[in-house]
């Protein structure tokens, strides 16, 4: 979570340096759509995930690892 005003690009670089496997992107647009972006940091693939049930989706991705 970034509340210091850093750009999305710098946040993604930091997540990569920290070794994060996935990042969850949740901004104003995503909230308005009722979804979040789930980014695979290894492949750079990103998918839209509905907020209801997001816990199960993230858990499934982590287990499939």
Q: Is pTM, for the whole model, over 0.85?
A: no
| HSE toward the beta carbon, residue 43, CA cutoff 13 A | 7
Measured CA to CA, the distance from residue 65 to residue 36 in angstroms comes to 20
What residue segments make up the domains of the chain, in order of their start? Answer: 8-64
Q: Indicate the class that CATH gives domain 8-64.
A: alpha beta
Neighbouring C-beta atoms of residue 36, cutoff 10 Å: 21
Q: Spell out the per-residue pLDDT of the chain, length 65, in tens.
A: 566 678 889 989 999 999 999 999 998 899 999 999 999 999 999 999 999 999 999 999 889 87
Please tell me what DSSP assigns to residue 31.
H
50, 34 contact by CB (below 8 A): yes
Identify the bridge partners of residue 22 per DSSP, sorted by sequence position: 40
Closest CA to 24 of 8, 37, 35: 37
């Amino acid at each position: 979570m970034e509340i210091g005003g850093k750009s999305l690009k710098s946040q993604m670089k930091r997540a990569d340096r920290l070794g994060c496997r996935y990042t969850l992107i949740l901004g104003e647009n995503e909230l308005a759509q009722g979804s979040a972006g789930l980014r695979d940091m290894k492949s750079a693939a990103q998918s839209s995930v509905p907020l209801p049930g997001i816990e199960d989706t993230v858990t499934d991705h982590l287990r499939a690892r």
